[in-house]
Structure 1
Amino acid sequence: MKKVDNVTQSYFDDLEAEDKEIQFEAFKNITAAIKEEVDWAYEVWDQLRDWLTDTDNHRRSRAAQFLCGLAISDPEKRILDDFPALWEVTKDPRFVTARHSLQSIWKVGLAGDEQKEMVMRHLVDRFQNGADEKHYTLIRFDMIQCIKNLYDELKDETLKQTALELIETEEYGKYRKKYYSVWK
């Protein structure tokens, strides 16, 4: 395992800067770095896992998004054990935090079949059983988009079929049409 290089460490340090522009630049740089596999994931993993339950919603959101991205850099499959805490952030009391986390959750599925199946189980269950959630049609849209993103990366036809079957369960035509628009 490689230690986080100085540049990357400075990005993590800058997440705590007073200046919001510096924080945002650091966030963008980390997000760009973890689009590919990195060899320093475990150097920051525990801190990010701890941030999932931090009192600061920005830390919760960043931690969730970063852990989702780092799943491809997780040969020990730690994400399997940490996923329940990560999934909880997709239901955060702060809707923007929940939504940013949910919109990134599909990336966990890129880490392997076991991770993909876990993500899909959670998405399908929530799509089918989460109707009492606030902003549920928006959450459903995000879940369909997550499946589409995963499909675009993996070209797994079962993902597309699952999404289309979920869309068909939507009773309101206007929302069904909106969800289908993701697959156009």
Structure 2
Amino acid sequence: MNSTIQAYFENLQSPDKNAQYDAFNQIIAATTQKVDWAYDVWNQLKKDLIHPDNHQRSRAAQFLCNLAISDPEERMLEDFPAIWEVTKDKKFVTARHSLQSIWKVGLAGPEQKEMVLTKLMDRFVSCVDEKNYTLIRFDIIQGLRNLFNETRDEKIKQMALDLIDKEEDSKYQKKYATVWKKA
């Protein structure tokens, strides 16, 4: 790992919130492409998924989702359940940020994509008893759209449209459908 990336990870612990925010954004930007340093931070990020600080949990989940494309050993297949747990975090903002990033795991390969699609589909159906379930459903539909945009896999589009059809409230059905306009 180069010294710039290492400094960003160190700045995540800075008392300066602006430095933390900048470091977060720089790491997210760096991990939109394959990187050769994923395993330098992987185990620590995995530990941070259960850190007492919700910001640490959120960042760890988001970084690991981005790093899935840089995972030739396919560790994600084993570590995904721990990341998925953060999508149900007691802090809703942490859960939501994690859920909004989880689709990126699907870019890592066919097995990872299938795993993500299965979890998102199951969660869409089962989340009706959760607080803010309409936001969760929206994030799932948006995540499916993001994954579709990257892969152009028509199966994903059909899955999302089928899920939207399951929404019984016409107001939310229309809201979710807007994500798929012009697809």
Bucket of the pairwise TM-score, normalised by the shorter protein: over 0.9
Alignment partners' CA distance in 2, 1:135 and 1:129: 13
Shift in Å, 1:18: 0.2
Shift in Å, 1:73: 0.1
Deviations 1:37-73 (A, max 9, x none): 0000000000000000000100000000000000000
Alignment partners' CA distance in 1, 2:38 and 2:53: 22
1:75 paired with 2:61, answer: no
Instruction: Tell me which residue corresponds to 1:27.
Output: 24
Paired letter, 1:132: D
Shift in Å, 1:130: 1.5
What is the CA RMSD across the aligned residues, in angstroms? 0.4
Aligned partners of 2:34 and 2:69 also within 8 Å:
yes
Alignment partners' CA distance in 2, 1:100 and 1:177: 23
1:104 paired with 2:93, answer: no
Shift in Å, 1:86: 0.1
Instruction: Tell me which residue corresponds to 1:117.
Output: 114
1:48 paired with 2:45, answer: yes
Question: Residue 129 of structure 2: SS of its match in structure 1?
Answer: coil
TM-score (norm 2): 0.98
Instruction: Tell me which residue corresponds to 1:95.
Output: 92
Aligned residue pairs total: 181
Instruction: Tell me which residue corresponds to 1:160.
Output: 157
Question: Residue 179 of structure 1: SS of its match in structure 2?
Answer: helix
Superposed structure 1 runs of 4+ greater than 6 Å apart? none
Instruction: Tell me which residue corresponds to 1:126.
Output: 123
Structure 1 unaligned residues grouped into runs of 5+:
none
Alignment partners' CA distance in 1, 2:40 and 2:139: 30
Structure 2 unaligned residues grouped into runs of 5+:
none
Question: Residue 118 of structure 1: SS of its match in structure 2?
Answer: helix
Shift in Å, 1:152: 0.1
Paired letter, 1:49: K
TM-score (norm 1): 0.98
